[in-house]
């Protein structure tokens, strides 16, 4: 790491009111707010917020309604549906009448079961662009996050603030000073947010965000399916998915987060179980989907 490549960890998250003040400040104000000390440098770094202001406005516009969803499924079993190929070996009729949070392409499975309520969460910019036309037609609740804040990362023309079924959320972030520029970068280390209207710990899978949403909605038991995490049988239940995060390794990128979330939820009386047939996930207790429901 070079002298000018430093992570600003003193302030990882700024709520919308604070961030608005930071965004509108001049460089000196921003440096003060982030507690960044440039020693013997004497150069004012540039600030590149990219698309963060757009996402901040989207989050602010939907936060009031989002907060109304807290506890909406109090005491219920909630199923979080991943996109692993094991979905094709899962009897989804068990989900009839269930409360379900789907991820990415899980809406394509709705012809196989009839949930009582269904939300869809997506935070991969590429996935949102790939599925844009479908997402605009969906009438279910949509939870949109954002991995990157580069200027071209947000399809702003269809991320319509105020759309009744759309809610936006932000990742837990680090502020990185690199080559004289300060920018926000999503932090993927293990963590758990009890209030996803402020921020969500992404980890390296959308399933971790779905678990945090399920807890926020009041779930007493959270059941995960389609979380293969090994890719030995392919990337997804859908043949349309051509790419994955190539460096992904379950032991490094997923197991620590499953362990943390399982321990945290157990401490507040919430079960987190894995009903995926097969797969690599060994950090959660296993049940069949039928028994879990």
pLDDT tens, residue by residue, 158-185: 565 556 788 999 999 998 888 888 899 9
Model pLDDT, residue 242: 67
Computed from CA positions of residues 72, 78, 81, 87, in that sequence, does the dihedral angle turn out positive or negative? negative
Tokens of residue 256, six digits: 């620590």
Model pLDDT, residue 32: 52
Model pLDDT, residue 24: 44
CA-based nearest residue to 168, from 255, 55, 274: 55
Residues 6+ apart with CB under 8 A from 272: 211, 221, 222, 224, 261, 262, 265, 266, 284
Model pLDDT, residue 14: 43
- Judge contact between 113 and 93, C-beta under 8 A: yes
What is the dihedral angle through the alpha carbons of 185, 191, 194, 198, rounded to the nearest 10 degrees?
Answer: -10
Model pLDDT, residue 2: 43
Model pLDDT, residue 149: 86
Place of tokens 């917020």: 49
What is the dihedral angle through the alpha carbons of 70, 75, 77, 80, rounded to the nearest 10 degrees?
Answer: 20
Q: What is the 3-state secondary structure (H, E, C) of 249-267?
A: CHHHHCHHHHHHHHHHHHH
Residues of the chain with pLDDT under 50: 1-28
- Judge contact between 201 and 190, C-beta under 8 A: yes
CA-based nearest residue to 197, from 216, 221, 183, 184: 216
Give start and end residues of each alpha helix (H) in 68-147.
125-130, 132-137
pTM of the model: 0.85
Domain extent listing, the chain: 6-292
Model pLDDT, residue 166: 87
């Amino acid at each position: 790491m070079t002298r000018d490549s430093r992570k600003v960890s003193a302030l990882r998250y700024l709520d919308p009111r604070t961030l608005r003040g930071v965004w509108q400040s001049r460089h000196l104000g921003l440096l003060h707010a982030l507690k960044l000390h440039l020693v013997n440098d004497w150069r004012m770094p540039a600030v590149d917020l990219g698309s963060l202001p757009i996402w901040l406005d989207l989050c602010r516009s939907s936060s009031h309604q989002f907060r109304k969803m807290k506890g909406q499924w109090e005491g219920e079993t909630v199923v979080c549906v991943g996109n692993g190929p094991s979905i094709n070996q899962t009897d989804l009729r068990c989900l009839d009448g269930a409360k379900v949070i789907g991820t990415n392409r899980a809406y394509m499975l709705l012809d196989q079961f009839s949930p009582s309520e269904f939300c869809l969460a997506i935070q991969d910019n590429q996935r949102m662009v790939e599925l844009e036309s479908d997402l605009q037609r969906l009438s279910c609740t949509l939870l949109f996050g954002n991995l990157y804040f580069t200027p071209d990362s947000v399809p702003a023309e269809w991320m319509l603030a105020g759309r009744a079924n759309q809610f936006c959320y932000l990742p837990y972030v680090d502020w990185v000073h690199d080559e004289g520029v300060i920018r926000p970068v999503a932090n993927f280390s293990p963590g758990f947010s009890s209030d996803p209207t402020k921020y969500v710990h992404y980890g390296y899978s959308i399933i971790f965000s779905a678990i945090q949403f399920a807890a926020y909605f009041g779930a007493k038991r959270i059941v995960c399916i389609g979380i293969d995490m090994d890719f030995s049988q392919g990337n997804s239940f859908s043949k349309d998915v051509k790419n994955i995060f190539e460096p992904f390794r379950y032991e490094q990128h997923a197991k620590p987060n499953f362990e943390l979330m399982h321990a945290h939820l157990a401490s507040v009386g919430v079960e987190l179980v894995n009903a995926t047939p097969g797969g690599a996930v060994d950090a959660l207790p296993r049940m069949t989907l039928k028994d879990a429901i």
